Structure 1
Amino acid sequence: MSPSALPLGDPLPADGSFPQEVLDALPGRAQKPFGLYVHIPFCSVRCGYCDFNTYTSEDLGPGASRQSYPDTLIGELEFARGVLDRSGAPERPFSTVFFGGGTPTLLPAEDLSRILIRARELFGFAEGAEITTEANPDTVTPESARVLAEAGFTRISLGMQSAVPEVLATLDRTHDRLNVPRAVEAARAAGLEVSLDLIHGTPGETLQDWRRSLEEAVAMAPDHISAYSLIVEEGTAMAAQIRRGTLPDIDPDDQADKYLLTEELLSAAGYRWYEVSNYSTSEKTRSDHNLNYWLDSDWWGAGPGAHSHMAGMRWWNAKHPAAYAQRLHAGTTPGHGREILDAEAKVLEHLMLRLRICEGLDVAAYNAMEELQEIQGEPITAGELRRLVGDGLIEEVAAAPSAEHPGGRAVLTLKGRLLADAVTRRLAP
């Protein structure tokens, strides 16, 4: 997924080649998971809260219509294969693939399958690879789910968002809420795992509305539930409505109450949090692709505005689908800009992302980071862990030293999850 405004960054060479420091680091990444993100930028309607790089037109210029887009995307996968071959990077099959958007399933299932099959031919898939597509519930049928499963998809993530018609209307979601259980049934019949995406904190949504959404989601017994707190981004239609006073502003206390209700109801139904906004029925049904992001793995992002990461370097593609297609058709990188993370950024990201997951931050590993020494940052002390335990922000048992974690771990409590940013600031160097 891509923000509405791309960062500037440094330009990429036309052939997409990596700088020497990334080339030097790649052999050491051989055992890290390698993921593929595929961006499908088409939507039938642009939701008022959406800040992603999406478009409602079916034809966005040469090479960017819905009909030609799959071939353009495949062109980037072939370009990526060449870049990695020339770099001498260790051979790594994709361990996860995630089709996001936009609405990937606005494309025919046969087109999504064709993209996936070409990715397998070019890179290979690791044994047990997790392969997901997002979907609008209205676009999933028994036949399309069967086609996706036969091509190798293992998981479908349905944008349910809410079970309350008025809330869906405020979010500009046009899907029929009754199609959510139908889509779940179709996915299950095809042998696919199911995740449901929910959003809480929509202006005007009551606590009872949110309870209804959670209860209806749980009743469908998905393998995984993402329950995100709504963030109103500047430049969106919803931000303008709030500024004009036609919608009430977001209430942080209301969002906290809804997060507490989420934990209560999902825990009672057998779901366990493994990331601040994500719950699964078991470790096997976690989103491996999202865990790759949180655990500093590598991924290639294909599609307009898509972001990639390799060995401490990030880059992002041209935002508009037509500009993206033009670059690929000219035989040059679709990349718009890149940055190499400095030591301070690596330390802060490691701290922030590890705190978001249920395994928490391994304090000894954090304190031993070369980048922490490079910036002469203060290590996390046992005293600071005790203070956080005393404030009810991290778990006491996890914070105690053990043979496996001699410095202890910082694992957020429920209160700590509500104040995750504050915990990060307290531990930051």
Structure 2
Amino acid sequence: MPAILPDGDPVPDDGALPGAALVGLGTRPFAFYVHVPFCVTRCGYCDFNTYTAAELGPGASRAEYADTAIEEVRLARRVLGDAELPVRTVFFGGGTPTLLPPGDLGRILAAIEAEFGLAPGAEVTTEANPESVDRRYLDGLRAAGLTRISYGMQSAREHVLATLDRTHTPGRVPQVVEWTRAAGFEHVNLDLIYGTPGEDEDDWRASLEAALAAGPDHVSAYALIVEEGTRLAARVRRGELAPPDDDAMADRYLLAEELLAAHGLHWYEISNWAAAPDARCRHNLLYWTGADWWGVGPGAHGHVGGTRWWNVKHPAAYATRLAEGRSPAHAREVLTEDDRRVERVMLELRLATGCPLALVDGPAARRAVAGGLLEPGAYENGRAVLTLRGRLLADAVVRDLLWPEG
């Protein structure tokens, strides 16, 4: 989440959405994202909307957070009316959601189920740091109804973890994955970061091999982004650390594709690999394919029918608004048809299924096919799908397909 919330149109105190946003409500998939903004320490690369105990200040309480989040779930029901909206996925993100007791996550999930109902086989994910859970805690999560866990592994090398200000030891990851499986979780993701200053190819290979050895059915691998305002950015600016190298990043990605595919994990989104279709993150797929979702929590974003909004950032301001019976939304925007087309291309082109060819510039698509950036079957299939080379240059490909004269 950005350090400064964007401007936008004001949101009514009752949170009411424009009438046009409610047209077709219930015909599109519906999900909940629940932001839990607490962390024990702040990682040097992170610019998410998170707070340590020292940063919270008065008016915000971890102990009361579940009750506050539940109030927003009830607000969502009032705003969305009586439409049948069985929730297909719920995602607890952060921050570190597993700093809350399992029962608190369970109560938020129960409130979502009570107000909206869960679709059969609903996916319920939480993010977790490896050091924030133990066997008993994981048993509690499973009993509360969670079905999937995503661990922030990041690296298997201690010096890389130290640069990222991560506090777990490399050996912790296989242990927590083992506990997670024993608790009855079928789906486990490991998040990795490549391109950290000081990481070489052997370090990255070791991280990939360690992740695979732990036995997840899903791996996410993200290129490090040095975000302004973070400690990492300050260290790079002072010359203490070298900035990420684009050529090295491309080599890291190619190695990830090689090793993950060799172990039966196949890409379905540029940064995500899964062992089988049912191991894919269904929640993120809803984001990438334009579904509706309600974002609960400070700084959380929601989207329904082309209207997008974002909540106030600080947990105290968030709690105060809900206690006063007001929407916690800071501002919103109504997307134009062209906005929605652009976002659709930007998101769907990242997927292995690609985006409809009709949404992009025809001559630019032909150039991309000729240049080996889009699969040659685009015209037979009517879809633009990135090749491996196209994945490495995805941002440039998207720009050319959308704004060929730019």
Q: Smaller-chain TM-score range?
A: over 0.9
Q: Does 1:67 align with 2:87?
A: no
What per-residue deviation string (whole Å, max 9, x for no partner) do you get for residues 257-289 of structure 1?
A: 100100010010111000000000011100010
Q: Does 1:393 align with 2:373?
A: yes
What is the TM-score with the length of structure 2 in the denominator? 0.96
The answer to whether 1:229 aligns with 2:208 is no
Q: Which residue is equivalent to 1:84?
A: 80
Listed as ranges, the matches of 1:230-309 within 5 Å are 230-309=224-303
C-alpha separation in 1, matches of 2:55 and 2:267: 40
CA shift, 1:176, in A, is 2.3
Matches within 5 A, 1:173-252: 173-192=166-185, 193-252=187-246
Cα displacement string for residues 335-393 of structure 1 (whole angstroms, at most 9, x for unaligned residues): 000001123321211111111000011214x3xxxxxxxxxxxx633x54342222110
User: Counterpart in 2 of 1:409?
Assistant: 383
Distance (whole Å) between structure 2 residues aligned to residue 54 and residue 384 of structure 1: 41
Of residues 27, 42, 56 in structure 2, which corresponds to 1:46? 42
Is 1:318 paired with 2:309?
no
* 1:13 corresponding residue in structure 2: 12
- Which residue does 2:157 correspond to in 1? 164
Q: Which residue of 1 aligns with 2:148?
A: 155
Mapped to 2, the partners of 1:415 and 1:29 lie a distance apart of 38
Aligned to 1:418: 392
How far the C-alpha of 1:58 sits from its partner, in A, is 6.6
Q: Assess, with a 3 A threshold, how the Cα gap between structure 1 residues 119 and 177 changes in structure 2: closer, same or farther.
A: same
2:344 pairs with one of 310, 330, 350: 350
CA contact (8 A) 1:59 1:65 kept: no
Distance 1:220 1:331 in 2: 46
Contact 1:96 1:129 survives alignment (8 Å): yes
The Cα shift of 1:221 comes to 1.6
Question: How far did residue 177 of structure 1 move?
Answer: 2.0
Q: Match for 1:15: what amino acid?
A: D
Distance 1:194 1:326 in 2: 36
Contact 1:74 1:115 in 2 (8 A): yes
In the alignment, the residues of structure 2 paired with residue 302 and residue 330 of structure 1 have an alpha-carbon distance, to the nearest angstrom, of 17
What is the deviation of 1:63? 5.1
- Residue pair 1:393, 1:416 contacting (<8 A) in 2 also: yes
Shift of 1:3: 2.0
The Cα of 1:39 is off from its aligned counterpart by 0.5
For residues 67 and 285 of structure 2, what CA distance do their matches in structure 1 show?
29
1:294-350 CA deviation, whole Å, 9 max, x = no partner? 000010000000000000011000100000000000000000000011233212111
Q: Secondary structure at the match of 2:166?
A: coil
Q: Distance in 2 between matches of 1:4 and 1:191?
A: 37
Matched, 1:125 2:104: no
| SS at structure 2 position matched to 1:204 | coil
Q: Which moved more, 1:30-39 or 1:298-307?
A: 30-39
Distance 1:139 1:51 in 2: 20
Q: Is the 8 Å Cα contact of residues 62 and 325 (structure 1) preserved in structure 2?
A: no
- 1:131 and 1:155 in contact (8 A); partners too: yes
For 1:385, give the aligned amino acid: A
Q: Find the residue that maps to 1:424 and give its secondary structure.
A: helix
Q: Report if the CA contact (8 A) 2:194-2:223 is conserved.
A: yes
Tell whether the 8 Å contact from 2:177 to 2:215 is kept in structure 1 after alignment: no
Measured after TM superposition, the shift of residue 61 of structure 1 is 4.6
Q: Which amino acid aligns with 2:315?
A: P
Query: Which of 168-177 and 54-63 deviates more?
Result: 54-63
Decide whether the 8 Å contact of 1:63 with 1:69 is kept in 2. Answer: no
Cα offset, 1:22, TM superposition: 1.8
2:87 pairs with 94, 104, 109, which one?
94
Letter in 1 for 2:13: A
- For residues 265 and 231 of structure 1, do their structure 2 counterparts lie closer, same or farther at Cα, with a shift above 3 Å needed? same
Quick one: distance in 2 between partners of 1:116 and 1:66? Answer: 17
The alignment-based identity, stated in percent, is 57
Q: Is the 8 A contact 1:42 1:58 kept in 2?
A: no
